[in-house]
Structure 1
């Protein structure tokens, strides 16, 4: 794919540009929508193969593959009236907007593929869920860290709900540092330690020979500190509350 358009230059749009343009090897031409002009202009200034278009229609016209990365609530304003030919491929990264709805909005026969790229695509380290599988889209996300095609839109929505837990993880780490500071530890030192602690945990996730349950068990000793926090804080009630929150999100996404 030599010409890629991105409509919506927010966090994910910026990450996609970085992943496509900062790696080794030839980069595709990238065409950006003018909304978010400051960010789009900064990306175009940094990468010689990135261009800011006059409007979203120009993005579509110049591209072979178009990524729609606007916020759900902005989709009608951004997409109304766009003409998308059947020779294009459209990647829908809008949470909670199914392909049937997007096809009605665009009134197009073009292939539509849903995808969940995460910010780590900028380092080409993120596995991206897609539905349905499409050779050009699969190749794009393989380049950006990996692709995980799923069987149907119901499975896709489950993965989309899992993505909604990301900032809760950061908030959990922030709570640990706040707790430490409340006990007299310098906040900067507490944050440095917590970051290092969980960066190590992140590296252990690369060992796919062990399940997540096995990794948890391997980091515990009977009656030890880790087992104590897991069983007294992350108990059955807390686990069920998390599942209930995910069920509610899944209902909204579906």
Structure 2
């Protein structure tokens, strides 16, 4: 699909445009919605194939693939009255909004695909879960690091639940840094060290030949300091984490529930 329209130019919309266009010899033609005017204008100024539509209907009219990237709680207002042609495909990246809800909202029977792209698509190094599989949509995400089609929306909700743990990881790192600063370490030094420590973890994750549990074991000495922190802090709370994931997964499967 060489003509893409994106309705909702927030962080995710900007990441998709950048991934599809930055340094690409033959990028798609992309029309952006005018809401979020500053970001849309900046992208249009950076990439020759990107332009800003007069309104959401023009974005749809100029596109083969219409990407819905508005906040879930804004979907009714942003998409009210939007007309979709029978030859188009709709791609929704709105978390917690089912295919049936999208079709009902737009009054259309065209193919609707849900996806969970992450901001790292701007660097073309992020796997994107899609549902249902669609050759043209999956090919677009293959350009951004790979597509991972899943069989049904229940499975997609499992991956959406995993995605919802991202800020918990950042907060964990922030807590480590704050603890070190509380021990008298300059905050800048603590921040630099923690970032470097976990950037190495990120590089290690690239080794697909070892399972995650094996990676953990390879970095842990029996009765050593890593084992002490893990078994003291994580193990007694693992059940609570599982329960939190189960509860969120259940909520994501309820029509009309917007994840926070």
Please, what TM-score do these two structures have when normalized by structure 2? 0.96
The answer for the alignment partner of 2:244 in structure 1 is 245
8 Å Cα contact 1:8/1:33 also seen in 2: yes
Mapped to 1, the partners of 2:20 and 2:94 lie a distance apart of: 20
8 Å Cα contact 1:6/1:31 also seen in 2: yes
Instruction: Give secondary structure in 1 for the equivalent of 2:110.
Output: coil
Provide runs of 4+ in structure 1 moved above 6 Å. none
The answer for the alignment partner of 1:4 in structure 2 is 4
The answer for the alignment partner of 1:46 in structure 2 is 46
8 Å Cα contact 1:85/1:109 also seen in 2: no
Mapped to 1, the partners of 2:67 and 2:111 lie a distance apart of: 12
The answer for the alignment partner of 1:61 in structure 2 is 61
The answer for the alignment partner of 1:83 in structure 2 is 83
Matches within 5 A, 1:80-159: 80-159=80-159
Mapped to 1, the partners of 2:97 and 2:173 lie a distance apart of: 31
Please, what TM-score do these two structures have when normalized by structure 1? 0.98
Query: Please, which runs of 5 or more residues in structure 1 have no aligned partner?
Result: none
8 Å Cα contact 1:44/1:52 also seen in 2: yes
Mapped to 2, the partners of 1:26 and 1:188 lie a distance apart of: 43
- How far residue 23 of structure 1 moved from its aligned partner, in angstroms, is 3.2
Aligned residues between the structures: 253
Mapped to 2, the partners of 1:125 and 1:25 lie a distance apart of: 18
- How far residue 175 of structure 1 moved from its aligned partner, in angstroms, is 0.5
- Aligned CA RMSD, in angstroms, stands at 0.8
1:156-202 deviations in whole A, cap 9, x for unaligned?
A: 00000110000110000000100000001111111111111101000
8 Å Cα contact 1:5/1:65 also seen in 2: yes
